[in-house]
Amino acid sequence: MKASDKSMARRLVVWLTATLTGFWLAAAGLGAHVMQEEFGEIFDSALQETAARLLPIVVDDLYQRPDDQGPLNFQQAAPLSEEEYLTYQVRDATGKVLMHSHDQARKPFNAPLSGGFWDGDGHRVYTLAAISNTIFVQVADPLSHRREALREGAAALLLPLFLLVPGSVLLVWLIVRRVMEPVDELRAAIGLKDSGNLADMEADGLPRELQPIVSSVNGLLARLRTALDAEREFTSNSAHELRTPIAGALAQTEVLVALLEDGPARERARQVESALNRLAGLTEKLLQLSRAEAGIGAAERAIDLVPVIDLVVTDFRRSLDEPGRLEVSRAPGARLFEAADPDAFAIALRNLIENAVRHGSADEAVTIRLEEDGALSITNGCPPLSPEELTLIRRRFSRGRTQAQGSGLGLSIVDRLLRQMRAELHLASPAPGRADGFEARIRFVRGADAVATTTAD
């Protein structure tokens, strides 16, 4: 399945807001349509009622007027309003205007002299006939008046949306954020799981929909714990079974070398002894690499690693011809309290010290220093290495410019183990503050950087 960086919460907010906005617009449109129909009925009813009320008054007035009098204008001395909504005319069967309202109604309407409604010339006209279709009362209403009423009514429905839409976005975002909190908590809890934290996850308090996910993850973690335990046990047993025969063969070869006199046979025995020593060293490194691949580096609880440093240094000094070559210093108040497996940390530190002793200048000390911020550095003297060589020596079975024996696996093992401990290995040459030398620095990553390192690993 292709990964996506889109947020579920953002999708929910966008889609819910768009859906609500669509429904509101549809409701506003439907409301405007209903208003148009209702306004039409109201205005038509007003035209009919006006015509019906005018008709008896007009007929009575016509019978009392002289025949030669011109069209009667009912315009008042002062108009009721500047805007005229209804106008009317009284016409005879020939179309002559007998009465009219206001000056603009002096010209006969184009509406036919037949009962009912007629639309034209920007007006809606209602005609009412009387006295055997000899008198017609026509009342006109401007269509622009109806459109204006519809626009104002639709605006009253649409304008609140400008406040409702932003408000709904905020409300939906708050609701989605509250609903998605358990998902975020579950995501963060799963993100913290690695080879050093395989404990079961708690399902209490989670919604019913998320509990099957927790159950599946816990089942996967249980199987992973079983697989890692089996792999570590196999690696440990294999290490013991491989070391024993190699150590026995090496001991017999040493006895054989001591018994043989100088000559070709003794020289061959020495070559066998040297080959067995190389095989023992390579086997040890391969077993360490296998343990590193099994994920032995991380631990669930933090421990004090300073005693581990002292133990490894003491063990090294016992095996060196010049124990004083190892110099250990510690900054005031320096401490190293981290969630790391002590055996894995000892393997990583042993490899770094071994590289410094084996490949460093024999006449210079190997300095091991614990800084106040918890950084641990191992420094030795040697000609400076180029950036390309620093990159090369990190690879498996790769070695720098050295004549000393080695497998080329030491830094690869260290790098792998430190990643599992949420630590970083920094290599520098020349060493800081020097014109030559080589420094390997271990720095444990904390906080958000630790999560990023674990994810990248």
At 265-323, the pLDDT tens digits run 888 888 888 888 888 877 777 777 777 776 777 777 888 999 999 999 998 888 888 88
Q: What is the mean pLDDT of residues 368-382?
A: 90
392, pLDDT greater than 80: no
Question: Under a CB-based contact definition with an 8 Å cutoff, are residues 364 and 378 in contact?
Answer: no
The percentage of the chain sitting over the pLDDT mark of 70, rounded to a whole number, equals 85
Span(s) in the chain for CATH 3.30.450: 8-74+83-158
**What is the average pLDDT value for the chain, to the nearest integer?**
79
Options 1.20.1050, 3.40.50, 1.10.10, 1.10.287; CATH of 192-295: 1.10.287
432, pLDDT greater than 70: yes
Range name among 54-68, 105-119, 123-137, 161-175 with the lowest pLDDT average: 54-68
3-state secondary structure of 323: helix
The percentage of the chain sitting over the pLDDT mark of 90, rounded to a whole number, equals 5
Q: Which pLDDT does position 307 carry in this prediction? A: 92
Q: Which pLDDT does position 67 carry in this prediction? A: 56
Q: What is the mean pLDDT of residues 199-226?
A: 81
Confidence of residue 196 (pLDDT cuts 50, 70, 90): low
Q: Which pLDDT does position 398 carry in this prediction? A: 62
426, pLDDT greater than 60: yes
Whole-number Å distance between alpha carbons of 297 and 294: 9
Confidence of residue 379 (pLDDT cuts 50, 70, 90): very high
Q: What pTM was estimated for this model as a whole? A: 0.50
Per-residue model confidence as pLDDT tens digits over 228-269: 777 767 766 766 677 778 888 888 888 888 888 888 888 888
Q: Which pLDDT does position 242 carry in this prediction? A: 73
Other residues' Cβ atoms within 10 Å of the Cβ of residue 418: 25
Q: What is the mean pLDDT of residues 390-418?
A: 70
Q: Which pLDDT does position 197 carry in this prediction? A: 66
Domain 8-74+83-158 has CATH 3.30.450: yes
Q: Which pLDDT does position 442 carry in this prediction? A: 92
195, pLDDT greater than 50: yes
Per-residue model confidence as pLDDT tens digits over 338-368: 888 888 899 889 989 988 888 888 888 899 9
103, pLDDT greater than 60: no
CA neighbor of 395 nearest in space, from 407, 409, 406, 382: 409
Q: In what order do the strands lie in the sheet with 438-444?
A: 326-330, 366-370, 376-380, 438-444, 423-428
Q: Which pLDDT does position 15 carry in this prediction? A: 85
Q: Which pLDDT does position 76 carry in this prediction? A: 45
For the domain bounded by 297-457, which CATH number is listed? 3.30.565.10
Query: Could you tell me which residues come within 8 angstroms of residue 104 by beta carbon, excluding any fewer than 6 positions away?
Result: 84, 87
Q: What is the mean pLDDT of residues 27-32?
A: 84
Span(s) in the chain for CATH 3.30.565.10: 297-457
Enclosing H/E stretch for 374? none
Enclosing H/E stretch for 393? none
Q: What is the mean pLDDT of residues 38-47?
A: 84
pLDDT top residue among 118 and 283: 118
DSSP sequence for 217-269:
HHHHHHHHHHHHHHHHHHHHHHHHHHHHHHHHHHHHHHHHHHHSPTTHHHHHH
Q: What is the mean pLDDT of residues 107-115?
A: 85
Q: Which pLDDT does position 455 carry in this prediction? A: 40
CA neighbor of 345 nearest in space, from 322, 382, 366, 374: 374
69, pLDDT greater than 70: no
Q: Which pLDDT does position 450 carry in this prediction? A: 43
Q: Which pLDDT does position 370 carry in this prediction? A: 92
453, pLDDT greater than 60: no
Q: Which pLDDT does position 401 carry in this prediction? A: 57
pLDDT top residue among 181 and 428: 428
Q: Which pLDDT does position 448 carry in this prediction? A: 37
Q: In what order do the strands lie in the sheet with 72-73?
A: 72-73, 97-100, 87-92, 135-142, 123-130, 116-120
Q: Which pLDDT does position 456 carry in this prediction? A: 41
Cα angle at 231 between 227 and 236, to 5 degrees? 150
